[in-house]
Each structure stands twice: as C-alpha cells, then as structure tokens.
Amino acid sequence: MNIYHWLAATCLVVSLPTHAASIFQPIELKDQELALLRGRYVMPDRIVYFGMTMTSTWQNAAGDVLGAKTTLQVQQHTINPQFYVSLINQKGNGAAPVNGSGSITGGAGLNTIQGVAQSTRTAGDGNSSSNNVDINVQQNGQVPTVATNEGQLLSSGSTVSSSNGVGALSVSSVNGGVQLAIQATNNQGDALQRIASGGVTQAVNLIGAGNQVQNLTQLNIVLRNDLPSASSLNNNLEQLKGLRSLGY
C-alpha cells in the first residue's frame, strides 16, 4: 500500500461514526460461540475414509519381541466400526535379561491429562524408546484397500492377550476405545498406549537395560475433492448469519 492509499484509509476510519468505526476493533469470542463454529468447514459428506492404527512393540536385551497392532477403518455407509488386532511375537537368541535394579516413582498426574499425553521415564542403561502420533490428511478421494479379516476381532469389553520372554501383553476395549499394555518381566518396566474418551496416552517406563520400546498411533483421513455445492455454501452462510444476533 502506497502513502496515498494509507492516508485515504486513515481518513476514512477517522470520518466514520463511533459505532461504525468499532468494526475495526478486535472482539474476543466466547467459548460458547467458538463451540458453535468448531469443525464447520469440513462437511461430513467430504469425509470418505477414516482409519486408525495403533502399534506397540517391546524388544528386550535377548532379542525377544512382543507387541500388537490394532486397526480401525470407517468408510462411508459403515454401520459398526470394528477394531482388529494382530499380535507380534518373536523369539530372540540372546541370554535372558538381567533383572532391572532401577526405580521410578510418581507420575500419577499423567493419567489425568486431557488430549495427548506422552511420557518416557527411565532408570536403566542402554534403552531406547519412542512415542509418536502421526496424522495424515489426503484430499485425493481415493479410499485405500481395507482388509476385512486383518487380525483378530476385538469386540466391546473383550481382551486379547499374548506373552513370551519379554513379558505379558494385553489389548483391551475400554471406554469406547482401545488400550495396549505391556508388562515386562525381570523388572524391565512397562509400556502403555491408549486412545479413548477423546484422548491419546503413550507412556513408557524403563527400569532394566537393553530394551527398545515403540508406541505409534497413526490417523489417516481421506477427503473428497468435490467442489462446494449450493447446499453446503448456504449452510455456511446460515452459520454466519447466526452471528448477527450476537452483534457481529
């Protein structure tokens, strides 16, 4: 903007009546007003696929691997979304791990965090761990091929279990979501990954030595690339009109 346009805009604002000039002042929106606008710009008919994958694995110093992968796919016209569980169980060729001698205390507040909570606590040596959440949004409208028989069906309220030299694994359906928990033997520690009640929790506690732990949650969303329809545009306009009664 050159100096002449800037002066013209300044004079225009100064010449406006007080009530009109106030439209140039920022106004803080209340929480209730923001709640009405939340998610309004991704219409339900544009979402053609939603998939979630949770994977937890634990490898101990002997090379034993214990873990699980859970998958959830929701497509258009899906009536009952379902979780499927694939177990990971591999035997290593090393000597049994030495009992861990570390100690971890506290951390009770991690269970009360809303949203995404990630924690790694260690009192051992030579360990590695990772907690990751990946969100992938595509707008190509191409629905990926879904395997309908991938793994074991996890029905509501049920638990799938497995064990080996690492320890014990349980995959449970909890609070409308799913939880993966690993309790390592020989006092090596524990791992937890859970998505439920609108939140994601990833936690690793390492007490022994030579362990490799990974928690990964992946969310995949595919949107249709249709041009805005007249009905969707009218819907957005109606939402904006609703702000007039609030003084905007």
Q: pLDDT > 70: what percent of the chain?
A: 67
- Backbone dihedral angles phi then psi of residue 230, each to the nearest 5 degrees: -65, -35
pTM of the model: 0.71
Q: Is the pLDDT of residue 26 over 80?
A: no
| Torsion angle in degrees (nearest 10) through CA of 198, 151, 131, 190 | 100
In the chain, domain spans: 45-87+115-223
Confidence of residue 70 (pLDDT cuts 50, 70, 90): very high
Tell me what percent of the chain is helix, strand and coil, each rounded to the nearest 5.
20, 40, 40
Q: What is the pLDDT averaged over residues 215-235?
A: 74
Q: What is the DSSP letter of 61?
A: T
User: From start to end of the chain, where are the E strands?
Assistant: 47-59, 65-75, 83-90, 116-122, 128-138, 152-154, 159-163, 167-174, 177-184, 189-196, 199-206, 212-223
Of the two residues 91 and 31, the one the predictor is more confident about is 91
Q: Is the pLDDT of residue 42 over 80?
A: no
Q: What is the pLDDT averaged over residues 166-182?
A: 92
Which of 6-15, 45-54, 213-222 shows the lowest per-residue confidence on average (mean pLDDT)?
6-15
Which two tokens mark 220? 């995949």
| Torsion angle in degrees (nearest 10) through CA of 174, 178, 184, 190 | -80
pLDDT for 122 equals: 92
Confidence of residue 153 (pLDDT cuts 50, 70, 90): confident
- Backbone dihedral angles phi then psi of residue 6, each to the nearest 5 degrees: -65, -45
